[in-house]
Structure 1
């Protein structure tokens, strides 16, 4: 057969076939007119080289396998030299993996230095492989729908619950909104640049986006205060130490409240969900005035624009 047919049947280019010939991995016969004449055996050899190359073997490392076939063995790895070829390829891959792992760890170290530069945290967190950037939202996130789980909240009195804050004090939720409106936004889980999110996180409607949401409230904090907000608070089921890292890293000008026991969720029947084996708050925001819920934002999407949404509502309310 001609070189074009061989290349088509073996799934390679004619240039690749000529390269294999230059290495004498295949040696086609010559016709009287000087043309190369490739056989079925050549097709099998080229396919074998291609398959081994896809496994990570260098082209030269495939030679013992081809010699095994030339010796009449049924399989290319029936010979001791082929088994040694496998072992050498594994050794080479292990060396590459080790080098890449070292390079990755150095990059992680540099990332953590940059992310936590100027941090006041006294103890560093365990370094882990970087898997995501929590400040950015992936494209095509599923949009949460209004399931009516917050319809009962407007007008409800906020229960007297004392929760620990990242500022080091205890906040009585019933006292919120006594001196101007308070914004209490509940969120599922704030990610870190060096930690995994729960499996399938991006596929859960309304789950992703806690860090961009917090950054939005940070960036619009002064505007919210000018619009009559006396205080902004984030609330989640993570403990205070976890939340303090976020407040410190993101330079948040407001405190986070820890509700590990879901006391507020149980008292007001707030919506929650499960992910990664944990119960988490669904994202919603309460506008509290004089100890009562004046307005509820639910569902919230996209979370990175939510602070502006709250600010717009406040401006509209002030204009009424």
Structure 2
């Protein structure tokens, strides 16, 4: 068949067909007069390339899928190389989504700042349709119950684990500064304009990571004066996500990232499931010279937790 017929049946343009040929993805035969001669296999290949491009996989990276078809498989993704191609595309999209989410949050923050620079109205109190108010907590927020999941922690040694910090480099938990270190563990922090897991507000102990972080920010100097050698936040979110939170909330301390949830196996920290994610339950560790001295669990309300830690430090001086 001619190129125009192939393009029509495959749902692509003749220009696209020529491009596929230039990549060696389609190799038509030749008639005696030199004209290209396409067959049903070329139609099938062109259709597959079009379908993959709609999924975001460029023509240049469809070779494993086409080779799978050419090997006699019924589907282009019946081969391990095809699955690897899917994973690569998913990883790239995940990275792009993270970058775009951070950029969107930065733009929203910049817009809010610009819109209210000469206004007496706080941007946090403007319409929730534009920006979720992460700094306040619903009046009917359910309180978590003490299920005993952290009762084993006091007296345990801090594990020999290095976690990435938002200031660059890593922090080793068994090599913290001498004295008391406060590590508040939280599920995840939300971003303006970013959806939280479905039913987040109805999960006891889930909502409130941003108010909690702001509380530790506002009481940071008081905590140091009360005997804390350092303060860290810790979650399973990646360092890039946490760094945006540190910058947006102007936190004076680092966040630590444990994306593999290594502390579940090493310390038995409790977790819960939400939106297909496994997340840490909210708790706070007081580590003294490499040993867990005290644990706050459950934590409620999170917006007042920094005050609770500060009170404990003052009541239990070294």
TM value normalised by structure 2: 0.60
In the superposition, relative to structure 1, how do residues 110 and 171 fare at CA in structure 2: closer, same or farther (>3 Å)? Answer: closer
Tell me the distance in 2 between the aligned counterparts of 1:115 and 1:314: 37
Tell me the distance in 2 between the aligned counterparts of 1:114 and 1:297: 38
In the superposition, relative to structure 1, how do residues 262 and 115 fare at CA in structure 2: closer, same or farther (>3 Å)? Answer: farther
Residue pair 1:142, 1:205 contacting (<8 A) in 2 also: yes
In the superposition, relative to structure 1, how do residues 109 and 273 fare at CA in structure 2: closer, same or farther (>3 Å)? Answer: closer
Q: How far is the alpha carbon of 1:278 from its aligned partner?
A: 0.6
Secondary structure (helix, strand or coil) at the match of 2:184 reads strand
Structure 2: gaps spanning 5 or more residues: 1-104, 115-128
Structure 1: gaps spanning 5 or more residues: 1-107, 118-128
Secondary structure (helix, strand or coil) at the match of 2:231 reads strand
Report 1:253-292 matches (<5 A): 253-292=252-291
In the superposition, relative to structure 1, how do residues 311 and 114 fare at CA in structure 2: closer, same or farther (>3 Å)? Answer: farther
Given the alignment, which residue of 94, 109, 113 partners 1:112?
A: 109
- Corresponding residue number in structure 1 for 2:67: none
Q: How far is the alpha carbon of 1:194 from its aligned partner?
A: 1.3
In terms of Rg, which structure is larger? 1
TM value normalised by structure 1: 0.60
- Corresponding residue number in structure 1 for 2:153: 153
- Corresponding residue number in structure 2 for 1:143: 143
Residue pair 1:131, 1:196 contacting (<8 A) in 2 also: no
- 1:237 and 2:239 correspond: no
Secondary structure (helix, strand or coil) at the match of 1:304 reads helix
- Which portions of structure 1, spanning 4 or more consecutive aligned residues, are displaced by more than 4 angstroms? 108-111, 114-117
Report 1:1-320 matches (<5 A): 111-114=108-111, 130=130, 132-176=132-176, 178-318=177-317
CA RMSD of aligned residues (A): 1.8
Tell me the distance in 1 between the aligned counterparts of 2:213 and 2:305: 9
Tell me the distance in 1 between the aligned counterparts of 2:106 and 2:158: 44
Tell me the distance in 1 between the aligned counterparts of 2:190 and 2:130: 11
Tell me the distance in 2 between the aligned counterparts of 1:281 and 1:133: 22
Residue pair 1:239, 1:259 contacting (<8 A) in 2 also: yes
Residue pair 1:143, 1:206 contacting (<8 A) in 2 also: yes
Q: How far is the alpha carbon of 1:265 from its aligned partner?
A: 1.8
Residue pair 1:132, 1:196 contacting (<8 A) in 2 also: no
Tell me the distance in 2 between the aligned counterparts of 1:294 and 1:115: 42
Residue pair 1:180, 1:230 contacting (<8 A) in 2 also: yes
Secondary structure (helix, strand or coil) at the match of 1:183 reads strand
Residue pair 1:112, 1:194 contacting (<8 A) in 2 also: no
The alignment of Structure 1 onto Structure 2 pairs a total of residues equal to 200
Tell me the distance in 1 between the aligned counterparts of 2:200 and 2:236: 17
Q: How far is the alpha carbon of 1:116 from its aligned partner?
A: 6.9
Q: How far is the alpha carbon of 1:130 from its aligned partner?
A: 3.9
Q: How far is the alpha carbon of 1:112 from its aligned partner?
A: 3.0
